[in-house]
Structure 1
Amino acid sequence: MPRELAELSYARFLEAFEGELEPDSDYESVHIDGGEFEDLDARGVRFTQSALTTVQITGGTFRYGRFDDVWLRAVRWIGANLGQSGWLNSEFVECALSGVEAVGVGLRRIRFEGCKFDSVNLRNASVQDVTFSDCVLRDTDFGEATLRRVSFPGTRLDGITLHGASLHDVDLRGATTLDLTAGIDSLRGAMVSTPQLLDLAPAFARAAGIIVRDN
């Protein structure tokens, strides 16, 4: 179950944040609650033990930012750039990411709970010890990414690209749908259920150049 704000070990230290985020700045024990940020230049920001709730971020950049032990709830990211940012020990609850550029992002010990991804670019990402629980990932690109110890319980995977990805101990058995548009040959290192394997059989046949005819 996702944690609530009051359950965070640092909740009592949080202070309300008002104002503008500045590039290459440090933010520790802050709580950004509500509001909209458009075309924000927050590259290189560093958040530690902080929380963001009911915030909408449209456009702008957080490239090279660092987020350590950050809790986000109902945060909407629309067309923002998170490229080469690093996330550690953080939790996303009921967040939405649409048209987000996250090339080369680092995700380690992250939990996504009830989140929606739409056209998110995670190419060359490093995704380690990450759980996508009851999420929807639509048209999400993991091309050339490295996924290690990643699971998808209760999650829909629709139009996923894995071309050139490297998978290690990736558990797909809990995914409610598994629709790959590219990179079927990159599933080496993943665990799937028997029904999922049967659903993927036509894609495996196409990748191997096998023609299946019943007449």
Structure 2
Amino acid sequence: MPSVPDQLAELPYAHLLIPHTGPLRRDERYDTVHFDGSAPAGPELAGPANGATFLECAFTGVELSGTKFRQARFNEVWVQGSRWIAVDCAETEWQDAGFVGTVLAGLTCYGSAVRRVVFRQCKLEAVNLRGATLRDVVFEDCLLRDVDFGDAKLTEVSFPGSTLEEVRLAGATLRQVDLRGAARLGLADGPNGLRGAVLSTVQLFELAPQFAQALGITVKD
């Protein structure tokens, strides 16, 4: 599991961070910048920041609504205690990033590349990850509700302690996707898309009626 700290001071680049000033800009490069929602004036994050690059940046207590990050790149970024609502993250690239105690709702993330990213104690609701590529990603103690992985490619993805509700996997390609630690498996498409996943025996029994229905099997005692 990728290592992600819970506190800002634990970041290896914490001592280099500088406060963000001014609006977000397209194609801008943000290097060791701290976007802090608790700052006296608060950061101006209306955007758009399409095509921008964020390197070793931190977002703490930040509320984003409708901000545009399309085709932006996030490398070694840490997001804590924030709310990202209806944010456009389509075709973005994420690598070595961490989300801690953050709400992500109504996000557009289709076609994105997500690598070595940890979501810890986060709430993801109505997040569109269709056609995205996820590799070495961990959803730890999260709530995933109405998250769409349709036609996505998931490799070495795990869900320890997470609750899945109305999650869609139809058309997805799964390789070493570990669902055994999930607290609940609520799959909108039933067993469709589970090829390549690892399930526990208990989960297999819980999904048995859906497998039978998908195969046209009637079970009677």
| Matched pairs, number | 214
Which residue, 33, 53, 59 being the options, matches 1:46? 53
Distance 1:126 1:42 in 2: 22
Which residue, 183, 197, 206 being the options, matches 1:190? 197
Per the TM alignment, residue 42 of structure 1 is displaced from its structure 2 partner at its CA by 1.1
Distance 2:30 2:45 in 1: 19
Q: Does 1:23 align with 2:34?
A: no
Per the TM alignment, residue 99 of structure 1 is displaced from its structure 2 partner at its CA by 0.9
Deviations 1:121-147 (A, max 9, x none): 110010100011000000110000000
Per the TM alignment, residue 36 of structure 1 is displaced from its structure 2 partner at its CA by 6.5
Per the TM alignment, residue 40 of structure 1 is displaced from its structure 2 partner at its CA by 2.6
Q: Which runs of 5+ in 2 are unaligned?
A: none
Which residue, 107, 117, 124 being the options, matches 1:110? 117
Distance 2:43 2:219 in 1: 53
Deviations 1:78-119 (A, max 9, x none): 111100000000100001111111111111000000000111
TM-score by length of 2: 0.93
Distance 2:171 2:133 in 1: 13
Distance 1:122 1:139, change over 3 A: same
Q: Does 1:129 align with 2:132?
A: no
Q: Which amino acid aligns with 1:94?
A: G
Match of 1:70 in 2: 77
Distance 1:58 1:5, change over 3 A: same
**Identity percentage over the alignment?**
46
Per the TM alignment, residue 150 of structure 1 is displaced from its structure 2 partner at its CA by 0.5
Match of 1:163 in 2: 170
Whether contact under 8 Å (2:121, 2:142) holds in the other structure is yes
